[in-house]
């Protein structure tokens, strides 16, 4: 599970900040290679900035059971560079090629699906010395070249230290549309351009106004993550369950935001959830809303679905039952999305979850009221208890809260 240190450490950085961090990081590992991946999911269209980065980290930690996000650095479609896994931890890159706490690769992840016919990754090594030369098509690709060139120059690595995971293990990463020879050729030009800029005094220099912030980020980043890596065989799966699971995280991302926007819950999702959910209104079976539940649906859970789950389990594995009732301030749609996200994990661990979904929720009113403040870049963390309390009372919070308690009492 992500803790506050991990969340704070996963920040976007400029090339100048990245260069400063490389110089000042308390290195314990010797870097001997660079592994370049594509995320596949999320692709360009699915990327939602920091929300996606954090959901990716949660997916790697909750879905795979790892101690941190797989990659050390992430490059977004807009060319922004994000810190990821602590650099002193081996990555979860390619089984048998992750190295250890002493030496190994740095893992760089490109957000996008760069298999042929999907997202575009264009780059020009001669333009790598200046981001001002980038256009919308080359922004991510040229940022990739700058990062790789900076890393290879800093660690004095040969061009061939760039490795494509498709040559080491399974999958197509960094995408079948990315040619290794072309990438190395442009990387050679980028390294030369960066060296030339350094000699001319035009290299990446951290501005004094950014120094304090970057020092604080270094302190947090150096302490982030677990005490050790996730083993030599830790590896992201591009296809199958791993990719499907991430789609669930994308759908369920930023639940509070989507609670008032109205997230899309498809009929297929409701069909998947029906063996695991009981939807209630004021303590009674719901006959409207996003999902409806009847007495027959509840009978089917215990007389059909649960029986089949019991029969399909391994003979030596007990089937445990979980009854899950979410908080009253969580809206119906958000609760359904959370259930859709969590059910596969429970089932994979021989647990049969039964979710009680309440058609309540006070937060949609809060966030609708606060949207203007959000647009003025007011951080959610800045809301004071007094401000929220006054808003809650003005929105009829006590009456809503009493209704929530009454619903729970009736349902019991």
Question: Which residue, among 259, 298, 260, has the nearest Cα to 276 in the 3D structure?
Answer: 298
> What is the overall mean pLDDT for the chain?
82
Distance CA 303, CA 311 (A): 12
Identify the residue with better confidence: 281 or 180.
180
Spatial contact of 263 and 337, defined as CB atoms under 8 Å apart: yes
Question: Which residue, among 240, 241, 325, 315, has the nearest Cα to 279 in the 3D structure?
Answer: 325
Mind listing the pLDDT tens digit for each residue in 203-244?
Answer: 888 888 899 999 999 999 999 998 888 888 888 876 533 444
Give the confidence band of 373 by pLDDT, cuts at 50, 70, 90: very low
Mind listing the pLDDT tens digit for each residue in 312-339?
Answer: 776 677 889 999 987 666 778 888 888 8
Query: What percent of the chain lies above the pLDDT cut of 90?
Result: 47
Give the confidence band of 405 by pLDDT, cuts at 50, 70, 90: low
**Domains of the chain in sequence order:** 4-242 (3.40.80.10), 256-411 (no CATH)
Identify the residue with better confidence: 102 or 347.
102
Poorest-pLDDT segment among 79-83, 222-226, 323-327, 356-360? 356-360
Distance CA 101, CA 68 (A): 15
Report whether pLDDT(21) > 50: yes
**Confidence at residue 186, expressed as pLDDT on a 0 to 100 scale:** 96
């Amino acid at each position: 599970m992500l803790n506050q240190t991990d969340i704070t450490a996963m920040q976007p950085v400029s090339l100048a900040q990245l260069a400063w961090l490389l110089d000042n990081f308390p290195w314990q590992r010797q870097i001997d290679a660079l592994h370049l991946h594509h995320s596949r999911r999320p692709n360009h269209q699915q990327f939602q900035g920091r929300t996606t980065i954090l959901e990716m980290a949660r997916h790697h930690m909750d879905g795979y059971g790892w101690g941190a996000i797989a990659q050390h650095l992430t490059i977004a479609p807009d060319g922004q560079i994000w810190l990821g896994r602590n650099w002193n931890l081996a990555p979860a890159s390619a089984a048998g090629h992750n190295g250890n706490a002493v030496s190994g690769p740095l893992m760089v992840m490109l957000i996008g699906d760069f298999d042929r016919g999907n997202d575009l990754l264009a780059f020009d090594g001669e333009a790598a010395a200046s981001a001002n030369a980038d256009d919308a098509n080359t922004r991510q690709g040229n940022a990739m070249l700058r990062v790789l060139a900076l890393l290879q120059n800093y660690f004095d690595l040969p061009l061939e230290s760039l490795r494509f995971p498709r040559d080491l293990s399974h999958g197509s990463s960094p995408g079948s549309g990315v040619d290794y020879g072309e990438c190395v050729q442009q990387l050679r030009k980028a390294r030369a351009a960066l060296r030339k800029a350094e000699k001319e005094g035009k290299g990446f220099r951290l501005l004094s106004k950014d120094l304090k912030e970057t020092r604080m980020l270094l302190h947090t980043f150096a302490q982030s993550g677990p005490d050790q890596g996730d083993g030599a065989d830790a590896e992201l799966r591009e296809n199958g369950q791993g990719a499907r699971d991430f789609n669930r995280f994308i759908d369920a991302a930023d639940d509070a935001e989507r609670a008032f926007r109205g997230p899309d819950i498809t009929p297929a999702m409701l069909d998947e959830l029906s063996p695991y959910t009981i939807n209630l209104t004021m303590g009674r079976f719901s006959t409207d809303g996003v999902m409806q539940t009847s007495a027959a649906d509840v009978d089917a859970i215990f007389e059909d679905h649960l029986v089949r789950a019991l029969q399909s389990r391994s003979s030596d594995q007990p089937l445990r039952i979980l009854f899950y009732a979410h908080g009253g301030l969580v809206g119906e749609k958000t609760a359904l999305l959370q259930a859709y996200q969590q059910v596969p994990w429970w089932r994979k661990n021989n647990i049969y979850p039964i979710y009680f979904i309440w058609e309540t929720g006070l937060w949609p009113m809060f966030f609708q009221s606060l949207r203007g403040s959000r647009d003025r870049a007011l951080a959610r963390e800045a809301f004071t208890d007094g401000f929220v309390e006054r808003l809650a009372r003005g929105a009829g919070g006590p009456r809503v809260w009493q209704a929530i308690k009454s619903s729970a009492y009736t349902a019991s």
